[in-house]
Every structure is written in structure tokens, then in C-alpha cells.
A = this chain, B = another copy of it.
Amino acid sequence: MSWTAHSYMARKGVAQGRTGAEHALTEAAQGKFHYVYGPYVEAKLRIQPGDTLTVETIDAFGGRVKTENDLPTKVLDFPFVNPQNGPIHVEGAVKGDVLAVHILSIDPRGEQPCGTTALIPEFGGLVGTGTTAMLNAPLPERVKKMQVTRAGVKFSERITLPYEPFIGTLGVSPEIEAVSSLTPDYWGGNMDLPDVAPGSIVYFPVQHPGAFLYLGDCHGRQGDGELCGVAVEMAATVRLQVDLIKGWSIPGVRLETEDFIMSVGSARPMEDAARMAYRDLVRWLVSDYGFEESEAYFLCTQAGKVRLGNMVDPKYTLGASMKKGWIGG
């Protein structure tokens, strides 16, 4: 039996571990993509807790960077970047609930080389930006295309990296805000966290009736921090199962795999993202695993793991995790 039978999703979800209807949201069906996470649009699809979804996402450049000559500053039209599928309305979801998203698979779509990375002026972790504002001249703009298959990401003639896909941008609508799909926050969004991958279940605090799930920005793989700001961007076919947990109050995104539980924080400076993630992990250990607060704090000190998602987006994202084996999860 799969570990998922013991997941929060299976134990607490409305669907009680059962699989519901199958839905598809193709690129054509999506039609117009979205550039904000917000409540000011109509739902594109309505589903029930327990249903599964196949979604065709487009890449963070909306497919406009077709060759290494298509420089982002020429072919993109800010702020219309990082296009998102959705929103998907989940029946019965209201503020105070949690939306559970089990990621089943992610496959690359489109013509090869379908992976794209780039150096974009004033963007990235090792250059001056609009906020870490510098007088230095930007680096030259550059695009690099890569073949991406389940067999690997062909970085160069001599280097093929493992295919380790994940969803860069995934989350639910804020209650009254409509926030750029470039930004991560407590509702999810552009976390660029490699653990949001097949096999993981991600939990989001619902803010808006129907939750309004959005997703996009799949990556063939990414290093910790997404250093230059652009991972292996690709169009993808994503399969998800969605469920709803009633009355579970969580302050931000949580995540679960077979091996660990993780709390996610998004903030600047980076230590605040770490504080948010670890404080939530401490409190989760207290509420669900029987630890007294100082014991939970000690356990995180001796056994917590940190995964840096991004150090380039408007907020940096970082996950703090604990092995299930140590806490009886």
C-alpha cells in the first residue's frame, strides 16, 4: 500500500482517499492565461474534492523564447510573464480550509529543444536588480536552449543532468489581492521549490471560495536557489489529484512526501523565510506530533533540513523539513 494512504490528504480529506472524476485542462481549453493569482476572474473549471486533473501548461515565457536569438527583453511584454492555468474552482472550499494537491506526474511538451534558460538584465541572484539596485552595468543578455526528456536535461555536449521536474508556480487565490504570478507568498505562487514535484502532496490555506487553484511554470529541473532566475523552463503536461481538508488552519504552504513533512516560508530577507518555515514546523510538531514547544525547537535544531527554493523572486522561498521516521509520522 502506498504511503499516501497515511497522508494528511487521505486521512483528513473530504474524498477520504477515493479518486473522483478525471478532468483535462488543455492549452486550447485554457485559452487566455493569467498573470496574477487573484479572485477577479471566472473559474475556468469546476471540480470536486478527490478529482484528478491533466493540465497543459505553457512555459514561463509563454512560449515566446523559441530560439537562442529570442532575447527576453525583445520578445516578452512585462508584466505579462509566467502565464498560469486556472483558476480551478474546488467545490466546497472556503476560507479556513486547506486545499491538498497531490502531484502525480509532469512531462515535457512541445518541440525539442523544449527547455529554456536565460540571463535577463537586472534579474538573478548574482546581479544588481530593480530592488538590490546597483549602478553596475548588467551582464549581457543570453538564452540557452536545452533538450529535455524523461531521460535527462541535456545541459551541454558533456553534461546531461537528471530529469527532476517540478511545478514552479502553484497555489490558490488570495482573498482580496491579485498578485503577480512572479511572487510567492503564503498562498503559494512562484515558490520555485524543487520539492513541489511528482510524489509530493502540497497543502495550501484556502482564502477564496472555491480555492481557485492556479498552476504553471514547470521546470525540467533546478538547482537550489534558481540562481540566475531562470530554471529549465518548459511547457508540460501535469497530472494532479486535488482534495479538500475542512477546518485545518495553517499559516502558509505545507508539503508532505513519503519521507518528510515540510513547512514553506517566502519572505525577504532570506532569514525571515527561514524563520517562517521553521516556526511553522515547530508548531506543526507541537500540534500534530506530541512535542512540547522547546522539544520541537530542539529537534529542529538537531534534525531539521532546509531546502532553498529561490533567491531571485520578489520573495525568497525556503522549506524546512523533518523526517517522518523520527517523529512517528
Contact = CB atoms under 8 A, between A and B. Distances in A.
Given A156-B295, A275-B134, A311-B274, A301 B222 contact: yes
A300 B223 contact: yes
Given A117-B298, A272-B132, A297-B119, A306 B304 contact: no
Contacts of A226: 301
Contact of A308 (B126, B136, B267, B308): B308
Interface in A287-301: 293-295, 297-301
B301 A227 contact: yes
A272 B138 contact: no
Interface size class of A (residues with CB under 8 A): 35 or more
B326 A131 contact: no
A21 to B, nearest CB: 32
Contacts of A130: 251, 276
Contacts of A272: 131-133, 268
Contact of A176 (B136, B178, B230, B305): B178
B227 A304 contact: yes
A187 interface: no
A22 interface: no
B136 A127 contact: yes
A223 B279 contact: no
Interface in A121-144: 124-128, 130-140, 142, 144
A221 B299 CA distance: 11
A178 B178 CA distance: 5
A269 B267 contact: no
Interface stretch (A24-32, A35-43, A236-244): A35-43
Interface in A280-322: 280, 282, 293-295, 297-308, 311, 316, 320
Contacts of A126: 133-135, 275, 278-279, 282, 297
Contacts of A155: 298-299, 302-303
27 contacts: A38-B40, A38-B178, A79-B175, A119-B297, A125-B275, A126-B134, A126-B135, A128-B136, A133-B265, A135-B279, A136-B138, A137-B137, A139-B294, A142-B294, A153-B302, A177-B178, A222-B302, A223-B302, A224-B320, A225-B304, A225-B306, A225-B320, A227-B301, A267-B268, A268-B268, A270-B270, A274-B308
